[in-house]
Amino acid sequence: MSSIFDDLNERQIEAVTHFEGPLLVIAGAGSGKTKALTNRIAYLIIEKGINPWNILAVTFTNKAAKEMKIRVLKLLGNKEVLSANGGFYEDNTIPTVGTFHSICVRILRKYIHLLGYENEFVIYDDTDQQILMKHILEDMMLDPKKMVPRAILGSISNAKNQLLGPKEFASYAHDFFSEKVAEIYPRYQKALIKGNALDFDDIIMKTVELFQTHPEVLEVYREKFKFISVDEYQDTNKAQYLLVKMLAEKYRNLCVIGDADQSIYSWRGATIQNILDFEKDYPDARVVTLEQNYRSTQLI
């Protein structure tokens, strides 16, 4: 088994060995933040005896999630447990590692019937959304050259990332385009419900709605995920921020890693304010800065 502390510098060890309570890790490019995050998960399990079942690690891409899981498994001395489709088998002996959307889909598959959907819902991709939007525009006799489906869907996507449903969005409408979107949005949402479908942005929004309207379900996941880590925290939007905040509220064992200078998802509603305000949300947070760059050449 690889040692948890192999090749870690002093700051990384400080982040890895932080146990209970909120932790903010400010990590620049190439500073070994993924290593710190994965080694911290291994530390919690091996040194602190935390049940892997109680650990959640969230990142933004499937590729990053897979790499993180493989690293953790190696540190724990496990062989990779790969299924035929390239994913991982569910196993209570390993932590839950995934993207916001993959984790929320897993939750909704069990509980979305509480919101009036069937648990075997479908997820619409960009093409499905475009086709649906074109049908809605035809029914409303709106010209798709003036009301471009992609632009409408982008506006609805931004609204959902800010947790604005059709009614809330309508109150913000302020010009011709947004007023038209306010008319289209409820029709679009009704059509999704009729098809027992979610779009990509519904996945997190509906999970937040589920937790808000069914606190008993939220309690299940608060008890399950007692230790939470979020990578690239600077790229979280309002929906993701609130989801994490709700899950971590009971035990407050939340570790977030990011760098305000590296935010790349502002077009998807991400706000660096989430990472800048972390210490306001958690005044007792420990802050660790990873400054040593392992990726760049010596000249840089």
User: What single DSSP character describes residue 79?
Assistant: P
Q: How many other C-beta atoms are found inside a 10 Å radius of the C-beta of residue 199?
A: 21
Helix, coil or strand: residue 253: coil
118: tokens are 């069937």
Taking the C-alpha atoms of residue 113 and residue 279, their distance in angstroms, rounded to an integer, is 37
| Blockwise average pLDDT, block size 10, the chain, 300 residues | 80 95 87 88 95 94 90 77 42 84 97 97 97 96 94 97 96 93 98 97 98 98 97 91 97 90 54 80 93 52
Alpha helices in 57-165 (DSSP H): 62-76, 100-111, 126-139, 149-161
Inter-residue contact 249 to 220 (CB < 8 Å): no
Helix, coil or strand: residue 26: strand
Inter-residue contact 63 to 104 (CB < 8 Å): no
pTM of the model: 0.88
Judged by phi (left if over 0) then psi (alpha if -120 to 50, else beta), residue 145 lies in alpha
Taking the C-alpha atoms of residue 248 and residue 269, their distance in angstroms, rounded to an integer, is 22
Question: 66: Cβ–Cβ under 8 A, 6 or more apart, which residues?
Answer: 88
Q: Residue 299: what pLDDT?
A: 42
